[in-house]
Amino acid sequence: MPLVPSLTTALTTGYQAYYSDVYGFKSYPIIVDNLEGVEVAIFNKDVNSHPFHMHGNNFFVCVRGSLDQDPTKRLISTEYPIRRDTITVPPKEYAVIRFRGDNPGIWLFHCHMEFHVEQGLALTFVVAPYMLIANTTLPEQYKRNCDLMGIPNSGNAMGRVGLDMADEPRGPFPLSGF
Ligand SMILES: [Cu+2]
């Protein structure tokens, strides 16, 4: 976990909120511009199904298929794609989803099996940070809660100023053999 919540970091680091490094390596932050189109391809080379869930957005499910299948044989039309906030990707299958960065915020995209999150199957979309900064004021309750839990109310993922990320913990890294 970052020492400072990514939302706090976005709102207290000024222009550096646009640098993914401030959110910390382990948050796997991906900066999305305001209204930018995002496409995510999920390849499940594992023997388990993984239900991927996105916060803050409903994505279009554009393609699903088997990793062994001819990629031109699409299982879902891109003409009328379904919109979901979760898609289960079975073993040896893939899915391609799309969403538009029209909801400024810090949005987790993760496998909904919580122990897989702890193993690293999660990333963070930092959507439209300038819009987020311009339109968000954290309530006092938020700050009080952080105070009570000993969580800093400003700074980067290490609780420091700017891009000082010295001694930042790294990982998890991709498994070998895939
Ligand atoms: Cu999983």
Domains of the chain: 27-128 (2.60.40.420)
The tens digit of pLDDT for each residue in 97-141 reads: 999 999 999 999 999 999 999 888 999 999 999 999 999 999 999
CB 89 within 8 A of CB 111: no
119 vs 34, which has greater pLDDT?
34
This prediction has a pTM of 0.91
Over range 19-46, report the average pLDDT.
Answer: 95
- Confidence class for position 168, pLDDT limits 50, 70, 90: very high
Query: Is residue 3 pLDDT above 60, yes or no?
Result: yes
Alpha helices in 121-175 (DSSP H): 129-135, 140-149
Cis peptide before 172 (omega within 30 of 0): yes
CB 114 within 8 A of CB 88: no
Residue with tokens 């932050």: 29
- Confidence class for position 64, pLDDT limits 50, 70, 90: confident
- Confidence class for position 74, pLDDT limits 50, 70, 90: low
Cα 89 to averaged position of ligand 1 atoms, centre (Å): 9
Helix then strand count (H, E) for the chain reads 4, 9
Query: Is residue 63 pLDDT above 90, yes or no?
Result: no
- Burial category of 86 from C-beta neighbours within 10 Å (exposed 0-12, middle 13-18, buried 19 and up): exposed
Cα 130 to averaged position of ligand 1 atoms, centre (Å): 32
Residue-averaged pLDDT of the chain: 92
Cα 46 to averaged position of ligand 1 atoms, centre (Å): 9
Cross-strand pairs, 139: none
Residue with tokens 């609780």: 159
Cα 49 to averaged position of ligand 1 atoms, centre (Å): 6
Whose CA is closest to 96, among 108, 112, 78?
A: 78
In this structure, the strands spanning 37-44 and 105-111 are unpaired
Q: What SS3 state is found at 103? A: coil
Cα 45 to averaged position of ligand 1 atoms, centre (Å): 12
